[in-house]
Structure formats: structure tokens, C-alpha cells
Amino acid sequence: MLMSGTLVAGGYAHLFRRPGVARTFVLALAGRLTYGVLPLSLLFTVQHATGSFSTAATAMALNGLASLSMPLKSRAIDRYGQRLVLPLIAAAMVAVLVLAAAMAHARIATPLPWLVAGLTVGLASPPLGSSMRAQWRTLVPEEAIGKAYSLDAVGEETLYLIGPMIAAGIMAFAPAYAGLLICAAFVVVGAAGLAASPAASAPLALEQQRIARGPLRHVAFLRLLLVMGAVGAVSATIYTATAARALAAGHPSWAGLADAGIAVGSVAGGLLWGRLQPAWSAWRSLCRLLAVIGAAALMASAATPFLLFAVALAVGGLAISPIYVVAYQASDRLVDAAEVTEASTWVNTATNLGVSLGGAGSGILVGHVGARAPGWAGAVLALALACAIALVQGRARTRPGRRANGLR
């Protein structure tokens, strides 16, 4: 439903006037900045130490594979509380990052320790984003959750935009492994800020632990994960298309500008969505947002000048942050209250898996079909998914007494 009341009418500033919100959110963002700075820092630390880019890429692949452990860590947080679990996981990550920096300083060039380091960093990474989203449910009233999630999504999008810039700036004046030490400091700040928050979740009672068997047992939640996996694949095709089109135009650096345009569009879309809070069901929202992305990708793929291509994708970017806001709110409603942190993490995990599969498929398309192929594929996938959701919704509405897969 549409939000109402002073908090919503007053805009985002009212969120920060609530007790504990400003401090917790800012510290959590500082911690989450780690995940914007870490990829380039770790990649080039391994590459400089071993002299092998393939080893560095393999270490990053193992790091990404280890992200599948995030839901398990989130389940531990749901069960035993943020105050206990987050500091323990953060301490493990700090230890691994410091050890990796020491290895780089000692010029250890053997590939195996670096592959282990890449995997271990991923295994030790704390789920700061999903922990912050779980806290929003305590920090703000129910009618403001959509606005809070919009602000959260915008913050996260901004971090992924500026994080690589910070990493590049560090490497311009210091060894790449200095970025690992800075990430370690960020993690400490973020985990401490969340653990010290008045909204840090307390451990579940034994009865709650027995009931909370994990969000994957909810069929409607699994449907949501399938949709988000497809969203990730669409995102991968779009970003691959920008790189391929820029390379084909003879200006590889244009890809960065196009990606920045998408990020700016996503930030603007997230802020706008949070203020408007359309009175649509979650499925209807996902359907319409995917249609926007698909139409934008279609126009971008048909455009010949790179500028028009980039502008079209920036317009499509308006729907990216809102999709995550809708997915997070839907996941909260589809699972038990004792499972929200893990559910939020599964949304991200499904999306990341989709990104991996979409990226691999897009690379094959570029090699065998051409630079425009990923964009066309992404447009078709987004529009087909929007149509499929609309069809399922239409059938659900014809069945009296049934809710549309629980997503209202």
C-alpha cells in the first residue's frame, strides 16, 4: 500500500532523525565499502605477487565461489544474533586480509597460497548488507521500510561506483596490498557499528531456532530467487554489451562512462522509488520494472551511435535499484521473521549466480555472434520474464481466494 504519515511525507531526512539510524547506517556503509574496494585490490595484489594474471583471476573466481557461504553465515546471525556473530566473522576476515598483505610484502610468489587466500577471504566475509537490512526493520516503522530499503539500495549502488575509484587511487600511491589493509579497517568499522546498534538482533529462543529451518523451504521464495537469478543474468548481458560495444567502437574507456551512467540512473531510480512507493504488488512491480529494463536494452541494442546506446542504458538503470527494493521487501514477507537476514542474503546470492552465468553466456555470444548480441539477449530475457510474470499473475487473479504467490 501507499505509505502515509510524517515520516514518509518528510522524505529521507526523517529516517536519519530516528534514534540510532544515522550512526548505524553510516558505519555499516563504511564496512560495506570493503566490497567495492576489495576486488581490484585483491586482484592486483595477487597479480603483482605472482606475476600471473591467470592466477589472480583464478583467486578472484574462488573468492566469488566462496560467496555461496553468505547464506550460512546469515543463518548463524539470525539464530545467535549480530552482536555475537558479526564480530567473530569480521575478526576472521581481518586476520586473512592482514595475512595476505604480509604475504605480498614478503613477495611470496607461489600460486597455491594466493588461491587459498582468495577462497578464504570470501569464506570470511561478513554479510554486512543483509545485516543492515535486518536492522532497518527495527530502526524504522513498518510503513517506512520501503523508503529505508530504497536508501539502502542507493547507498550500496554508490559504494560499488566509488569503491573501484578508491582502489585505483590507493594503487596510484601505494602497493596494491595497502588496499587489503584499508578493507580490513573498513570491515572493523562496519561490523562494530552494526553490533553496537540498539537494533542488533538478539539470539533466538530455542523454540524459534527449531522453527527457523531456512527460507528455502518456502516455495514462493524460491520463485522470487529464480526471478532474481534472471535479473542477474540480464545485468551481466548489459555490462558485457557496454564493454563489447566500446571495444568495437575503438574506445574501451567509453565502457566505464556507460557503466557510470547506468549507476547514476540506478541511484536516481532508487531515490524516486522510495519517495513514490507505488501501490503495486511485488510481482506487478517486478514485471513493470523488468519491462523498463528490457525496453531500454532493446533501444540500446538498436542504437548505432555509442552515445545513444549509453543514454538508453542509463534510462534502463532507473529500474535497477527498485528491483532490489521490491525483492528485499518481498523476501521479508515470504519467510518467517527469524529468517529475514538469510533470505535477504539469498536474494543477493541468486543474483550473483545469475550474473556469473549471464557473463559466461555473454562472452560466448560476443565471440560467436558479435558485440551487439549480449544486448539483444538481455532485452529478450528481460521482456520474456516480464511477460511470464504477467501471465502467471493473470492466471492467479482468475482463481478466487488465492493470493499471487504470496507477494502482496
The CATH-assigned architecture of domain 6-203 is Up-down Bundle (1.20)
More confident residue, 337 or 264: 264
Instruction: Of 50-64, 170-184, 378-392, give the lowest mean pLDDT range.
Output: 50-64
Report yes or no: 374 and 366 within 8 Å, Cβ to Cβ. Answer: yes
Name the band, by pLDDT with cuts 50, 70 and 90, for residue 54.
Answer: confident
Instruction: Of 1-10, 179-188, 306-315, give the lowest mean pLDDT range.
Output: 1-10
- Exposed / middle / buried, residue 328 (Cβ in 10 Å: 0-12, 13-18, 19+): buried
* pLDDT above 80 for 401: no
Where exactly does CATH 1.20.1250.20 map onto the chain? 6-203, 215-397
Res 315: pLDDT: 95
Q: Which of 80, 344, 87 lies closest to 195 in space, CA to CA?
A: 87
Report yes or no: 386 and 224 within 8 Å, Cβ to Cβ. Answer: no
* pLDDT above 90 for 408: no
Average pLDDT, stretch 137-165?
89
Q: Where are the alpha helices (DSSP H) in 124-253?
A: 128-139, 145-173, 177-195, 206-211, 219-248
Report yes or no: 334 and 220 within 8 Å, Cβ to Cβ. Answer: yes
Average pLDDT, stretch 29-40?
93
For the chain, the average pLDDT equals: 88
Res 204: pLDDT: 56
pLDDT tens column, 281-333? 899 999 999 999 999 999 999 999 999 999 999 999 999 999 999 999 999 99
Res 200: pLDDT: 82
15: Cβ contacts below 8 Å, ≥ 6 apart: 7, 21, 140, 144, 147, 148, 151
Please tell me the class of the 215-397 domain: mainly alpha
Res 396: pLDDT: 65
Per-residue DSSP letter, 203: P
* pLDDT above 50 for 380: yes
| Cα 4 to Cα 285: distance, rounded to the nearest angstrom | 19
Cα–chain center distance at 54: 26
* pLDDT above 50 for 3: no
pLDDT tens column, 213-252? 678 888 999 999 999 999 999 999 998 888 889 888 888 8
Q: What is the pTM of this model?
A: 0.86
* Torsion sign (Cα): 166, 171, 176, 177: negative
Res 8: pLDDT: 44
Name the band, by pLDDT with cuts 50, 70 and 90, for residue 212.
Answer: low
Residue with cell 532493446: 298
